[in-house]
């Protein structure tokens, strides 16, 4: 009897689902490595633990949670940390004086001013008061400018976390097309700089071709660009902005968005990203969840930057280049 030509055909095509990028797990692994490296460095160099100081202005509840998470992560890896809580009525000048004192304080290695700041304070000005060496956020104009020139610098934590995830999951970037949605100074722009960085320069090059989209990119253009992307990075803060019909099959989708919404089903608030996760994961090759994707990496890269700052400052002190 002739073989049934259809016998090999499954009733339904095999469902293909994206691999989930586990930022939580990767960040835990990196923190364990960091803890060992910090311990070893302290013994070898006979120096004190790295010290991170966070400045929190006002009582925004989300900011309080973020700062608390940072303190906890610091404790996990053996970094000493403290938070300076300031009233939201503090003047810009007073805040500047506090930062200048921390710049001169040789028991402090990293300074982080939690954003957003109250409206009467100019956050760009404040970020530029933090000395380049202690700028563990990488938000000061010199550090951001150096990044845009592919020079060695303190890279902002979220972009660094995204880069680390791409590396850990062996995602090829050389010559690939990457679309960044969102052009913020602290996330979108530095992520684009990293993606298009030249491997022949000082920092580790990713050598992507990049396309930057933002609020004035017409929706049909956004869809067209996204459909061409091997890597899509979204950092906007608009739930469900990126849908399955915008994805090239097999693409890598990195969701940096965080929005707190009320969930009708559970009657609780929950965090969502900018990507329609349930549907996009049916088309994408890899995808980050929210929570548990980029967020934990941001915190973990802050620890890495603080350790980097501490090592550099200790070296300068040893060579008596600074007090
Ligand atoms: N000077 C400054 N530096 C920052 O790096 C900075 C800032 N200001 N202002 C606010 C944003 C936001 N940000 C996040 C950090 C961790 C998570 C994070 O851990 N997210 C968890 C969930 C946390 C939760 O449950 O709320 C996750 O995605 O799994 C998210 C967001 C840092 N920021």
Q: Which atom of ligand 1 is nearest to the CA of 158?
A: 5
Q: Is 277 helix (H, G, I), strand (E, B) or coil?
A: helix
Distances (CA, A) of 288 to 22, 58, 64, 87, 209: 7, 31, 25, 36, 21
Protein residue with its CA nearest to atom 16 in ligand 1 = 295
Looking at residue 245, the DSSP 8-state letter turns out to be G
Dist CA 8 CA 10 (whole Å): 6
Looking at residue 227, what is its pLDDT?
Answer: 98
Dist CA 131 CA 75 (whole Å): 24
Q: Is the CB of 182 under 6 A from ligand 1?
A: no
Q: Is the CB of 292 under 6 A from ligand 1?
A: yes
Kindly indicate the confidence band of residue 275, based on its pLDDT and cuts at 50, 70 and 90.
Answer: very high
* pLDDT at 7 exceeding the cut of 80: no
* pLDDT at 206 exceeding the cut of 70: yes
Distances (CA, A) of 238 to 35, 143, 242, 272: 36, 28, 9, 9
- Using N-to-C axis directions, what is the helix angle for 141-148 and 188-195, rounded to 10°? 30
163 is catalytic: no
- Using N-to-C axis directions, what is the helix angle for 23-45 and 61-77, rounded to 10°? 50
Q: Which atom of ligand 1 is nearest to the CA of 23?
A: 29
Q: What would the pLDDT profile of 11-66 be if each residue is shown by its tens digit?
A: 655 667 999 999 999 999 999 999 999 999 999 999 999 999 999 999 999 999 99
Q: Which of 67, 298, 303 to mutate to test the pocket of ligand 1 (most atoms within 8 A of CB)?
A: 298
The yes/no answer to whether this complex scores an ipTM above 0.90 is: yes
* pLDDT at 216 exceeding the cut of 60: yes
Average pLDDT over residues 134-151: 97
Dist CA 125 CA 306 (whole Å): 22
Dist CA 68 CA 45 (whole Å): 29
Looking at residue 11, what is its pLDDT?
Answer: 60
* pLDDT at 226 exceeding the cut of 70: yes
Kindly indicate the confidence band of residue 274, based on its pLDDT and cuts at 50, 70 and 90.
Answer: very high
CB contact burial 78-98 (16+ within 10 A = b; e otherwise): bbbbebeebeeebeeeebeeb
Protein residue with its CA nearest to atom 10 in ligand 1 = 115
149 is catalytic: no
Lowest mean pLDDT among 149-153, 171-175, 246-250, 319-323: 319-323
For residue 116, cis peptide bond before it (omega within 30 degrees of 0): yes
Q: Is the CB of 258 under 6 A from ligand 1?
A: yes
Query: What ranges make up the beta strands (E) of 5-65?
Result: 19-20, 51-57
Q: What would the pLDDT profile of 231-253 be if each residue is shown by its tens digit?
A: 999 999 999 999 999 999 999 99
Question: pTM of the prediction?
Answer: 0.94
Yes or no: say if 250 and 284 are a contact pair by the CB < 8 Å rule.
Answer: yes
Give 277's Cβ-side CA count (13 Å radius): 21
Element (H, E) at 294: helix 294-318
Tell me the percentage of the chain whose pLDDT exceeds 90.
91
Average pLDDT over residues 131-157: 97
Protein residue with its CA nearest to atom 2 in ligand 1 = 114
Protein residue with its CA nearest to atom 18 in ligand 1 = 295
Yes or no: say if 194 and 163 are a contact pair by the CB < 8 Å rule.
Answer: yes
* pLDDT at 3 exceeding the cut of 70: no
Looking at residue 230, what is its pLDDT?
Answer: 98
Looking at residue 74, what is its pLDDT?
Answer: 98
Yes or no: say if 252 and 289 are a contact pair by the CB < 8 Å rule.
Answer: no
70 is catalytic: yes
Lookup: tokens for 108: 């402090």
Kindly indicate the confidence band of residue 320, based on its pLDDT and cuts at 50, 70 and 90.
Answer: confident
Average pLDDT of the chain to the nearest whole number: 95
Q: What would the pLDDT profile of 64-102 be if each residue is shown by its tens digit?
A: 999 999 999 999 999 999 999 999 999 999 999 999 999
């Amino acid at each position: 009897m002739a073989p049934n030509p259809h016998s090999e055909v499954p009733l339904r095509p095999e469902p293909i689902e994206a691999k989930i990028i586990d930022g939580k797990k990767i960040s835990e692994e990196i923190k364990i490595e960091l803890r060992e490296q910090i311990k070893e460095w302290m013994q070898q160099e006979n120096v004190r633990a790295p010290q991170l100081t966070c400045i929190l202005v006002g009582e925004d509840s989300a900011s309080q949670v973020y700062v608390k998470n940072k303190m906890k992560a610091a404790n996990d890896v053996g970094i000493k940390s403290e938070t300076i809580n300031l009233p939201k009525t503090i003047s810009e000048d007073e805040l500047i004086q506090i930062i200048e004192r921390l710049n001169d304080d040789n028991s402090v290695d990293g300074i982080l001013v939690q954003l957003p700041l109250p409206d009467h304070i100019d956050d760009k000005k404040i970020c530029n008061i933090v000395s380049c060496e202690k700028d563990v956020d990488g938000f000061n104009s010199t550090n951001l400018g150096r990044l845009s020139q592919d020079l060695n610098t303190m890279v902002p934590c979220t972009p660094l976390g995204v880069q680390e995830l791409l590396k850990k999951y062996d995602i090829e970037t050389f010559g690939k097309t990457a679309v960044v949605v969102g052009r913020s100074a602290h996330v979108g722009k530095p992520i684009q700089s990293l993606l298009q960085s030249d491997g022949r320069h000082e920092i580790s090059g990713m050598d992507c071709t990049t396309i930057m989209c933002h609020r004035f990119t017409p929706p049909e253009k956004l869809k067209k660009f996204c459909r061409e992307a091997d890597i899509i990075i979204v950092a906007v803060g608009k739930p469900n902005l990126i849908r399955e019909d915008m994805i090239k099959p097999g693409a890598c989708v990195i969701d940096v968005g965080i929005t707190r919404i009320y969930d009708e089903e559970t009657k609780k608030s929950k965090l969502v990203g900018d990507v329609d996760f349930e549907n996009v994961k049916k088309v994408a090759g890899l995808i980050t969840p929210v929570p548990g994707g980029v967020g934990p990496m941001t915190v973990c890269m802050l620890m890495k930057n603080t350790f980097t700052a501490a090592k550099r400052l200790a070296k300068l002190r040893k060579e008596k280049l600074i007090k």
